[in-house]
Amino acid sequence: MSKKAVEGKIRCDACPVACYIADGKAGACDRYANHAGELVRLDPLTIIDMAQEKGVKAVPFMRTTDGNDWDGDLLQSNRPFITAIGAGTTYPDYKPAPFIVSQEVDGVDMVTVVTEGIFSYCGVKVKIDTDRHLGDERAVVRMDGEAIGHVMTSEYGSKMLSLGGVEHLTGGSKKEGRVTCDALLRLCNCEAVEVTVDDGATVVIQAGKAPIVNGVEEKLMRVGCGSATIGMFASQWAQHVDEVIVVDDHITGQLSEHQAGKMLSVPPSGIRINGRRSTPGRYFQVAEPGTGWGGTNIDDPLEILKDADPKVAWQGLRLFMVSTTGEHSAYYELDKDLKPVAVEMPAELKASTELIAENCEPSVCSVLFMGGAGGSLRAGVTVNPVRLTKSVKDSLAYVSCGGAEAYVWPGGGITVMANVQDMPSNAFGYVPTPALVAPIEFTMRLSDYAALGGHMSDVKPMDGVLSEKLRKVGQIDRRSNPNDSRNYPWRAK
């Protein structure tokens, strides 16, 4: 890293901000500091010591330049795997990456190129396991009043958010960019972030933790939609009740009309549901979205029912209503006017609600980092950047983020996505341009690296980078509490 003295300060060239840093002080990013006139990286280079653990996912097969398949286990060998965490950056990347490390794996010469990339084109995709209505699709998500993203299309049992991106980082006001960068940094480092959705809910998001919606911690992810729930539990209900309604914001199910009920010879009940009827036993739009029963806005499930059909219904008809998580349930019997009257729930139905809850998975938040590894970052790997892109597409080069497996999107460029929970703690940083600093590694055969125009004169053997200053972690460290300072004591003040 080059430096320039200015009135007792040195100039950092790790990012476009180019801070002038006084002795004993850190730059604006808190990642680089002036130590007695030398520019130093505050966090140590992180090595994942795979010899400490077993059961790590294998890397897909790779095709080598000589046409043979190589089944080298990049992450499973009893060897250290160098990550980009703590490696530093080389901005602009006309210079070689900070570490280009070689080592032999099962008789094959391998090389791993690591750098902490500066990502202006980056964001996170957040999956929140809940039936609660967080906000309409395309609704703006805010932190500290600033727009940082939006609500995406819901998935099965989960709400989805897209946060960050260059439009928020650089396309809005300076405050919007700073707030967005702060939100991304905290989420990627597995810290809690509170956001609000326009005309929707307030949500606390933290990777690996249950979401907190409007101050209430979520417990369960639904077992299925209302129709699917009937399909799973119809045989347990048919002998104890005459009708079951599973309330769901998306697809509410009715046992007597459902194919499962028909197969079990459940007769028509005359109970009628408000909403748009789809296929038999499946109803859409029974209520507005909300935080009540089954992700609707109702607290009384009877609100979704029409008057019973007097030609079919009968006094004493047993009606069971339940939500898709078993969190809400009620039992009724029709009186002489065919009105549902709440009565004590039979033990068999209580057990049924508990079984639904047992079959629900815990509600958690998942955070996936997504970034475009383009621009000059590739020049730090090779003098011919497009060859790196082609090598990744041809599975000659394996891409990881902080040692975690990265999914590479098809199409042009190197657009990666990785689970932040699979990375060691404190894997991400930032620069106040604003942009996120994320670790990225490219691993390949040494011969392939030479063929793509790699910086061969800067290749160092693994033994040449091992030192006491290294941070060594295993798989267990990746899922430890990221807020526990014991995980990275070198950051202690």
pLDDT digits (tens, 9 = 90+) for 424-441: 988 999 988 899 999 999
| Mean pLDDT, residues 456-475 taken together | 77
Q: Helices in 189-274 by DSSP H: which ranges?
A: 226-237, 259-263
- In order of 297, 376, 394, the CA distances from 388 in angstroms are 51, 12, 10
pLDDT at 1: 41
Task: Determine contact, residues 21/13, Cβ cutoff 8 Å.
Answer: no
Of 93-102, 248-257, 415-424, which gets the smallest average pLDDT? 93-102
State the pLDDT at residue 103: 87
Strand 471-473 to strand 46-49: parallel, antiparallel, or no bridges (unpaired)? parallel
**pLDDT of 16-50, one tens digit each?**
778 888 988 888 877 788 888 888 877 778 887 75
Residue-level pLDDT at 440: 94
- Find the range with the poorest average confidence among 52-61, 109-118, 418-427, 483-492: 483-492
CA 250 to chain centre: 23
Q: What is the pTM of this model?
A: 0.84
**Alpha carbon 71 to chain centroid distance?**
29
Helices marked H in 108-249: 166-169, 174-188, 226-237
CB atoms within 10 A of CB 220: 23
Q: pLDDT value at position 61? A: 34
State the angle between helix axes of 347-358 and 226-237 in degrees (0 to 180), rounded to the nearest 10.
140
Instruction: Map 354-372 to HEC letters.
Output: HHHHHCCCECCEEEEEEEE
Helix, strand, or coil here: 440? strand
Could you give the CA distance from residue 233 to residue 226 in angstroms, rounded to a whole number?
A: 11
C-beta of residue 15 within 8 angstroms of C-beta of residue 30:
no
186/116: higher pLDDT: 186
Peptide bond into 92 cis (omega under 30): yes
Confidence of residue 88 (pLDDT cuts 50, 70, 90): confident
- Which of 370, 300, 396 lies closest to 121 in space, CA to CA? 370
d(CA 387, CA 378): 9
Structure tokens at 118: 């500066």
Place of tokens 């069971």: 320
Residue 367: closest CA among 321, 419, 299, 305: 419
Contacts of 357 (CB under 8 A, 6+ apart): 220, 325, 326, 327
**pLDDT over threshold 80, residue 474:** no
* % pLDDT > 90, the chain: 65
CB 162 within 8 A of CB 369: no
Euclidean distance between CA atoms 435 and 178, whole angstroms: 9
Query: Measured between alpha carbons, how far is residue 318 from residues 173, 232, 313, 340, 454 in Å?
Result: 59, 20, 10, 9, 74
Where residue 81 falls among pLDDT bands split at 50, 70, 90? confident
Q: Is the pLDDT of residue 230 over 80?
A: yes
Integer Cα distance of 12 and 27 in angstroms: 8
At residue 175, the pLDDT reads 96
- State residue 453's pLDDT score: 92
Q: What is the pLDDT of residue 84?
A: 87
Question: Is pLDDT of 176 > 60?
Answer: yes
CA distance 42 to 159: 37
Closest by CA to 224, choosing from 254, 257, 260, 250, is 250
Give the ranges where 300-407 is alpha helix by DSSP (H): 347-358, 385-393
Tokens describing residue 64 = 């080598």
- pLDDT tens digit sequence for 321-370: 999 999 999 999 999 999 999 999 999 999 999 999 999 999 999 999 99
